[in-house]
Structure formats: C-alpha cells, structure tokens
Amino acid sequence: MTGGAGFLGSHLCERLLKDGYSVVSLDNFHTGRRSNFKSIRGNPRFVSMEHDVVHAIDIDLRFDQVYNLASPASPPHYQSDPVGTLKTNVFGALNALEVARRHGSRIFQASTSEVYGDPLVHPQKESYFGNVNAFGPRSCYDEGKRCAETLFFEYSHMHGVDIRVARIFNTYGPRMQPDDGRVVSNFIVQALNNKDITVYGDGSQTRSFCYVDDLVEGFIRLMSLGEAPAGPVNLGNPQEFTVLEFAKLVIACTGSRSRIVHKGLPVDDPKQRRPDISLARAMLGWQPSVPVVEGLVKTISYFDQLLRAKHVVSQSVP
C-alpha cells in the first residue's frame, strides 16, 4: 500500500491485517505519521518502509493486491507544493501500476470527488465529466487525480491490469490531523478549545461526510468484487450538509461556547457536493452505516484525547 501512514491508509492497514493479510506500507511521511501505526506496530505481518512514490518501487516481494493512497489530501497540504502534488499523483500512480503489471496484482486507486471540480450537476454520478479549472489553486490535486485515473484505465486497456478506482467523497474520523485545515478537524478543534468556528464564505456550500470505517468497508468490497467495474465507483455519504449547518452540529455535539465567524471563501471552492452512490449500492451492496452524529462523537472523543495529551506535553516543557 502506498500512503499507509496517513489518515485513511492507517485504518486500511489495520483492517487488512485484521482480515488476515500481510501488509507493506510505503510512505514518505509527508503528511502521514509513524504514530498512526501505534495499534499495528509489532504485528509480524506488517512492514513500514520509507519511500517516496515519485521514484520507482522496486521491492523483492510479490503482491496480490496494491492500494495506491499516497497523496496529500487536505487543500492546505496539497497546495503547499503544487508540483510535488502533481508528481506524487502522476508518477506515484505510474510506479504503483508498474508494480501491479509486473506482479499481476489487482490495484486500487484512491481517486476523489474533486475530479468533478465545482460540479454543475447534482448529485454527482460517475458519468458526470466534471467542471475543473486547469490552472487554479486546486488544479494540482484535481488534475493530478484525473491524470491518475486515465493512467489506471489505460493500464487496464493496454496491459490487462485489474484496476479498481474509487472516487472518495469527504471522509472523517480518528487520526485526522488537528492542523490539516480540513473542515471537520478545524471545526472540532476550534469547538473543543471554545475558539471561533471559521466558516468560509456564507457557509451555504455543501459537503457530505462519510465515517472512515464505512469508507474502508467500501474499499474492501470494491477490491473483493470478482469482475472489475467498467469505470470508477463513488464512495461517500449521500447525506448533505451546508457548511453552516455542519458548524452548528459540531457546536451541539461538543457543547462548545464557540461563536461562528465568517472568513473569505477560498478560490474555486466547490459550491455543492453529494455523491450519487447507486452504483456502489448495486455493485457492492454498500452504503454508509454510521450516522453522522455517531461518527462525529467518536471523532470528537479522539481529538479531545489528543488535545489533552498535547496540553500535558506543552505544560511539562519549561
């Protein structure tokens, strides 16, 4: 797996080990952390290797399955080094595909709802081609992921590689980084600290939030399917919130005294996003099962513990 030390990757490593697989994680720890391996470190079927997927992957092992997750995912992270983001997504996909081609492995691509850009069709079906700006601040990620999808489908056509492409919509849960700038982590950390909740724009833009365990179940089902789907498959929660509604929900779930303040809306911020998951329902028998409030309570508890631990550490430093 590439990107195993990240938020989604570490949950996927855990699940695959639980299912009896042996797992090798390749990660350069750009946005991932070794501490994400806390629960699996020491497992004899788990190996973590430091590797930048921009460079060829040359490992003397045979893999039945490859999961390609390496890429920064939060806008501040992927915009901090746009060319690096493009290289990771394009060369990383090529290098992972080469492993799958050589080993005859089935390979999974973590694609994204960002391939739909600022969508003019709502909700988004896989057949929608998207509305993506080729040179805006989000383009390095959106176009990198779009090019990676093309590489996956061409490796399938040209080399017969067995590919599975998931278009992942906003996902949240424990092990998100408190300072990654994403809406879920920002709002929860702000609420727990009773600081202002920063809603960008008027908060009327929408997102749909999927709990991490549900998403990982979708990955496993997609990879277990006997025959590869003809195209990408949306995975996400179709329950849609405006960002303002979501801020109020986080305040209610944390019992915070935070106030909501408005800040500038980032350039090219998608105005609406909700997956049409009919294909995942029909092909995988999959849909999210964790209600948003339940997932939020678990995530809030994770951040609460993390912030308390940090507080103790910072207090103990003279």
Give the residue numbers annotated as catalytic, written as ranges.
141
Q: Phi, psi (5° rounding) for residue 171?
A: -125, 145
Residue 235 within binding range of ligand NAD, rule CB under 6 A: no
- What Rg do the C-alpha atoms of the chain give, in angstroms? 19
Q: Which is nearer to ligand UDP, 63 or 141 (CB)?
A: 141
Contact flag: residue 75 with ligand UDP (CB under 6 A): yes
- By CB under 6 A, tell whether 186 contacts ligand UDP: yes
Task: Give the residue with the Cβ less far from ligand UDP, 112 or 156.
Answer: 112
Binding of ligand NAD by 7 (CB under 6 A): yes
Q: Which stretch binds ligand NAD (CB under 6 A): 23-31, 225-233, 275-283, 300-308?
A: 23-31
Instruction: Find the binder of ligand UDP among 198, 242, 278, 287 (CB under 6 A).
Output: 198
CB 119 to ligand NAD: min, Å = 14
First to last CA, the chain: 40
Cα–Cα distance, 25 to 49 (Å, whole number): 6
Report long-range pairs for 133-136 (Cβ below 8 Å, ≥24 apart).
133/268, 136/267, 136/268
| The pair of three-digit structure tokens given for residue 170, joined into one six-digit string | 């906003």
Decide: is 31 part of the binding site for ligand UDP (CB under 6 A): no
* 144, interface contact from ligand NAD, ligand UDP, none, CB < 5-8 Å by kind: none
Q: Which does 183 bind (CB under 5 to 8 A by kind): ligand NAD, ligand UDP, none?
A: ligand UDP
Q: Which parts of this chain interact with ligand UDP (CB under 6 A)?
A: 74-75, 170, 182-183, 186, 198-200, 205, 207, 243, 266, 269
